[in-house]
Amino acid sequence: MLHAFTLGSGDSIFSDILPSIAQAQFEVLFVTCFWAKSSSLDRVSSCLRNLSKRALERESKVRVRICLSSLSLLQKLYHTSSPAGRTYSPSVWVKKFGLPPPEDLRGLDLEIKSVFIRPFSVMHPKFIVIDRKYLYLPSCNVSWENWLEGCLQASGPLVNHFVNFWQDFWANDVDKRSSSSTVSQEVDVSAPEFHRTVSQPSLSRPFASTVGCKKVLLDLANAETAFLLSPHHANPRFRPFPWQPAIPPPQTPLNTFLLHAFDNAASKIYIQTPNITSPPVLKALLVALKRGVNIHIVTSERLMLLEQLVTAGTTTVRCLRRLKDQHQQLHAERQKPLLDEEQGPNQSLGSLRIEFFVKGFSDAQLQLSPEPVQSHLKLTVVDNQTIVFGSGNMDRASWFTSQELGVAIVSPSLAGSVMRSLEECLASRTKLDFDG
């Protein structure tokens, strides 16, 4: 069951999620990538204190597992490269993580764990599972950035895939043997598996909501969904010299699904991503343009430039400049008359539209609080019916080294609702770079 899709800043997204976390009965799985001092962290800390208080009033404990990858550059440089990661003592919860002291969290069975594999393998997924029933899939980290983010809310069979993933990758030995698990089968991540969600009984409590964001209520019970994992890879497989042949990306379920969707697109591909530097993505989009598929890209012009240069050796602006040049060259070639009449007419060329996200004006159609200054949303819509949403960017790091998680959904009605909400949200928040 898909319940809602929310657009807003990271702070407003967490404000929307945390009331549900505060009502957890026995477990909260909180998986994110980056963790930093911020108003979002202050909200998380207050929520955990309240959750502990409620648990003590019930004379019970709530298991809370916080899983992350990055605290700072220094932390990553000195982090163990063991997949087992590092578990942190309660003595550092206050100073290192900005959480309440352990005596204020006596109602929680709390564990904090980080995993980072040098040089670039960051664990990038972001999701929250409450009582193994309710799933939140935000694009935001626990950090200070005022960026445009999104969040999908769901329940039902889809939740089991995320719990299984957490058990396989993050859970300690005790948690893996826990009798509270409601999932009995491992998920085969060798290929994406579609399943149709079935109608669920009415939720015992609704997904909580706050102001400051755009929330679309869905209540879709018949959409096809697929859980898409992209495991991390320690070897970035760089090809720094121009005479070296390009290599294909790891054949993960997420990468494979996206390339298949691009290759089989019939009319339109919409991509909103923080960065776009992945050679396989750019190549697939060029091929789609040649087939007559219209491409619309919304991205950021100057977001995480140093990270782009280190992990990809290039930037979004450079990659899009080359894509624009290739598109204009194809357009010029299609305008030339054919010398051989038997070749038939030129195949129509798809249009290419590129926009950069900018901070909204005071007269923006939809007021968001706080106002996003960059876009961090990771969303792909193909042919107005297939949506891929999750943690993965269209950059080289996400495609070659980072661990990523996504969800594919086939639903024309959902695609229409999401695109209408995005159009409203992006009004007065983009600048046109190319339209050809």
Helix and strand totals (H; E) in the chain: 12, 21
**Res. 132: pLDDT tops 50:** yes
Residue reference for tokens 């890209």: 297
Q: Residue range 377-394: average pLDDT? A: 97
Residue 424 CA to residue 162 CA, distance in Å, equals 31
Residue 31 CA to residue 17 CA, distance in Å, equals 13
Task: Find which of 185-189, 327-331, 333-337 is predicted with most confidence, using mean pLDDT.
Answer: 327-331
Q: What pLDDT, on a 0 to 100 scale, did the predictor assign at position 236?
A: 62
Residue reference for tokens 């007021």: 367
pLDDT tens for 306-322 read 888 888 889 999 999 99
**Res. 383: pLDDT tops 60:** yes
Q: What pLDDT, on a 0 to 100 scale, did the predictor assign at position 336?
A: 76
DSSP string covering 358-425, please? Answer: -PPPTT-SS--SSPPSEE---EEEETTTEEEEES--BSHHHHHTSBEEEEEEE-HHHHHHHHHHHHHH
Q: What pLDDT, on a 0 to 100 scale, did the predictor assign at position 363?
A: 56
Share of the chain above pLDDT 70, in %: 85
Q: What pLDDT, on a 0 to 100 scale, did the predictor assign at position 182?
A: 44
Average pLDDT, the chain: 87
Q: What pLDDT, on a 0 to 100 scale, did the predictor assign at position 275?
A: 96
Q: What pLDDT, on a 0 to 100 scale, did the predictor assign at position 207?
A: 42
Residue spans of alpha helices (H) in 207-304: 253-263, 279-290
pTM of the full structure: 0.88
pLDDT tier at 51 (50, 70, 90 boundaries)?
A: very high
- Of residues 112 and 187, which shows the higher confidence score? 112
Least confident span in 21-25, 197-201, 218-222, 374-378:
197-201
Instruction: Please tell me what DSSP assigns to residue 147.
Output: E
Which of 268, 266, 330 shows the shortest CA–CA distance to 297?
268
**Res. 195: pLDDT tops 50:** no
**Res. 216: pLDDT tops 80:** yes
- Burial letters for 217-228: b for 16+ Cβ neighbours within 10 Å, e otherwise? ebebeebebbbb
Share of the chain above pLDDT 90, in %: 67
pLDDT tens for 11-46 read 999 999 999 999 999 999 999 999 999 999 999 999
Q: What pLDDT, on a 0 to 100 scale, did the predictor assign at position 81?
A: 79
Q: Residue range 397-421: average pLDDT? A: 94
**Res. 161: pLDDT tops 90:** yes
**Res. 56: pLDDT tops 50:** yes
Q: What pLDDT, on a 0 to 100 scale, did the predictor assign at position 334?
A: 83
- CB-CB neighbours of 392 under 10 Å: 28
Residue 64 CA to residue 186 CA, distance in Å, equals 22
Give first-to-last CA distance, the chain, whole Å.
39
**Res. 186: pLDDT tops 70:** no
